[in-house]
């Protein structure tokens, strides 16, 4: 089953959020979305520590996820890779409101 997880910057330093993400990863394919993630945030390092053994690929988007980026996300999922979508937009713009193109069986926002 596919899970869409919206991470805020605070989730990267919240032990409960990281534990929840690791538990979710045990039974789900993941698409991660981090809003307002800047270069000073250790996003990839924290996620690699939390999801050892999983391949992660970051995709930077501004605004809506366009068709080319959607295809890339679908290809990454087919390869058993975890797409991490970094957006410079306000987190309120991020999922789940405008992400109906992604057939997620579960949507989670961290921290809760």
What is the reported pLDDT for 60? 87
Instruction: Give pLDDT tens digits for 85-111.
Output: 988 766 555 555 567 888 899 989 999
Kindly give, in sequence order, each residue whose CB lies less than 8 Å from that of residue 86, ignoring residues fewer than 6 positions away.
Answer: 34, 37, 43, 58, 59, 60, 61
The mean pLDDT value for 40-55 works out to: 90
What is the reported pLDDT for 16? 96
- In 10 A of CB 96, how many CB atoms? 14
Look at strands 106-110 and 56-61 and give their pairing: unpaired
Specify the range with the lowest mean pLDDT, choosing from 15-24, 29-38, 74-83: 29-38
What is the reported pLDDT for 9? 82
pTM: 0.88
For residue 97, whether the previous peptide bond is cis, meaning omega lies within 30 degrees of 0, is: no
The three-class DSSP label of residue 13 is helix
Q: Could you give all domains of the chain from N- to C-terminal order, each with its CATH number? A: 2-110 (3.40.1160.10)
């Amino acid at each position: 089953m596919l899970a869409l997880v919206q991470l805020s910057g605070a989730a990267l330093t919240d032990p409960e959020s990281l534990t929840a993400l690791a538990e979710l990863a045990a039974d789900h394919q993941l698409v991660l979305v981090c809003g307002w993630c800047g270069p000073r945030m250790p996003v990839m390092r924290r996620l690699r520590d939390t999801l050892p053994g999983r391949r992660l690929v970051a995709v930077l988007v501004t605004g809506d996820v366009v068709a080319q980026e959607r295809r890339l996300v679908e290809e990454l999922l087919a390869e058993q890779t975890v797409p991490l979508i970094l957006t410079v937009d306000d987190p309120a713009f991020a999922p789940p409101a405008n992400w109906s193109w992604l057939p997620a069986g579960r949507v989670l926002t961290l921290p809760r």
